[in-house]
Amino acid sequence: MQMRRLGAHGPEVSAIGLGCMGMSFGYGPAGDRAEMIALIRRAVELGVNFFDTAEVYGPFVNEELVGEALEPFRGQVVIATKFGFALDPAGGPKWVGLNSRPEHIREVAEASLRRLRVEALDLFYQHRVDPEVPIEDVAGAVGELIREGKVKHFGLSEAGPQTIRRAHAVQPVSALQSEYSLWTRMPEREILPTLAELGIGFVPYSPLGKGFLTGGITQDTQFASGDFRNILPRFTTEARVANQALVDLLAAIGARHGASPARVALSWLLAQQPWIVPIPGTTKVHRLEENFGAVEVVLTAEDLTEIETASAAIRVQGARYPEELERMTGR
């Protein structure tokens, strides 16, 4: 597996990481625990050292899963987790708002350390910007944890350019995590130039369009109960029919390289900047191996030009999130 550094201040990680959320949360029933542990350890065998989780995934159970799976590899892997949501005090798999107050950040860090079975959190992201707490206070709180040795690197997720700058001025930001793929290209407008200027790495989540860019989802696909794609405007039947043109483009490019649409989509991301590290998620070993094989696909300048020209003529239909969730991004 090739390695990349997350910006000027971040850790060295595998060029492709593993997003672990879907093993426990968001895509229907959780996977079998023993099978998910085996899948995570198979990723390590393939050379992956970068794993992504969060307290809210479950909540808590995904961190516990990742902690158990990676305990034998302590010191050899980089685990990213996140704070920033207020969880339902009555329990249950839901959040009830945002909370990035400094005292809460510390509470989350201490709990995540226990669940992940580590002595320091490698990368600690603010999951969503909390408009009630100045970002300088957030950065300062994480900075204290870094000085205490409980956190190694500070990250932000789905933050806007001004928030990134303000946070970075207080505590260097190692990485920003936001959605980015061939069907979600908003970061190219302001975010990527900001990160390049400041020396911050970029970690695209949903780099395969929540599975759509693999070509495995059609207009007839039925999602399980509890799969959040059931509420996403981009996954209506009409949107899927219209957006198939993007998958067809990836398949045509892939045919030249003997590569699947998923591998082409990930290779395209890797070609954008040397400090971009996508984190596709999966619950299937064969998909895991397919995704990480993207590092072997080298798109030519002609391929990249064709993708750019053809995708510009494809109008992706459907918002990526319902309005109330989209309002939580780009702050």
So which residues are the catalytic ones? 57
CB 96 within 8 A of CB 86: yes
CB 288 within 8 A of CB 16: no
CA dist 83 and 40 (Å) reads 22
3-state SS class at 195: helix
CA dist 1 and 239 (Å) reads 35
Cβ neighbors of 9 (< 8 A, separation 6 or more) are 153, 172, 173, 174, 199, 200
13 pairs with which residues across the strands? Answer: 4
3-state SS class at 175: strand
Instruction: Work out the burial of residue 294: count CB atoms within 10 Å of its CB; fewer than 13 is exposed, 13-18 middle, 19 or more buried.
Output: buried
